[in-house]
Amino acid sequence: MHTYNEITNQAKQLQKTLDIMEKSNIERLKVDQVIFTGCGTSFYLASSAARYYQSVTGQFATAVPASELFLHQSGLILEGKNYLVVGISRSGTTSEIIIALEQLKGKANIRTLAVTCNGDTPMAEMADDVIALDHISEQSVVMTQSFSNMMYALQLYATKMAPSGEDITELRKVPVLVSGVIENGILTKRIANDLTKKRFIFLGSGQYNGLAKEATLKLKEMTQTECESYSSLEFRHGPISIVDDTTVVILLAQQETANYDQALVTDIQRLGGHVLVLGPVSGGFQADQIIELDESISDRNRYALYVPILQILAYERAIRLGFNPDQPRNLTQVVKLA
């Protein structure tokens, strides 16, 4: 299975990404805002990357779907303001990204950066600067290691834009830590194999909200399972009404949210939901299942550690349901507009 192999060798690929980014010469830019953009998985990546970039650099950053940049450009690009637009695409050929970059090309107040796993593409040629992760060459339709590696590259890029490089020490630990985490992915097999569970909900806040959305997409792509994602504490404001004993809730726990996570888990369990918690937790924390992640690095730099476990969950569920993860229904590697 291409998908499984590409999930489980992420640590090796992350190390290559680290080597590439450490050797890169990147100009520190002064802009009014950084706009991260992509489609599908790449947009969810953009959402997380924007949160990370703003936190690390102190520069305003936001994320928008690539289509928004050419459908509603006047509401996003303001006269008299300077922008960096970071376009994200695994293939470098996604139609919406190409159209958006074409419309932005040549504008004096806009600089563009392409982040892709294919440096020999129209997208890369069109951008002012390129981060090309050519060592990532996925055979699978769904994005797995391309997601984690492009996000990791953007985290490393952000440290080069930051006034101080304090995060780089933690980020250098990520490939080794991910290697250990991949072995824990099999711990999701019990949930994946339980066919009494019909509905999956992913909860994450801050930069992890983008990851919760991506985890939802992975499960949906591989299995067509009914699944949703929400910002963690927003879940109580209506969506919690659908929880019953057929529901699995996966909470992406962080040190920042520790004071609120246990009460949320308890509320979900009271309604019959099965709760899996991923992340660092305090002693005595209770859930139906906990997969603890290394807390020696900060919340914002721990991102890649969650990714393989969520992907393995989707993969194992697909296998249990009799789907082929390498051939998801109705999907192709690249979406191109007519």
Residue-level pLDDT at 65:
95
Residue-level pLDDT at 2:
85
Mark whether 14 and 36 lie in a shared domain: yes
Mark whether 11 and 42 lie in a shared domain: yes
Residue-level pLDDT at 326:
67
Alpha-carbon distance 49 to 68, whole Å?
Answer: 18
Q: What is the pLDDT of residues 212-230, one digit of tens each?
A: 999 999 999 999 888 999 9
CATH of residue 263: 3.40.50.10490
Residue-level pLDDT at 335:
47
Number of domains in the chain: 2
Q: Would 338 be classed as within a structural domain?
A: no
Residue-level pLDDT at 74:
81
Residue-level pLDDT at 226:
84
Q: Would 335 be classed as within a structural domain?
A: no
Q: Would 33 be classed as within a structural domain?
A: yes
Residue-level pLDDT at 48:
97
Mark whether 199 and 235 lie in a shared domain: yes
Mark whether 160 and 202 lie in a shared domain: no
Q: Would 65 be classed as within a structural domain?
A: yes
Residue-level pLDDT at 109:
92
Residue-level pLDDT at 137:
85
Domain that holds residue 214: 179-321
Q: Would 161 be classed as within a structural domain?
A: yes
Residues of the chain with pLDDT under 50: 330-331, 335
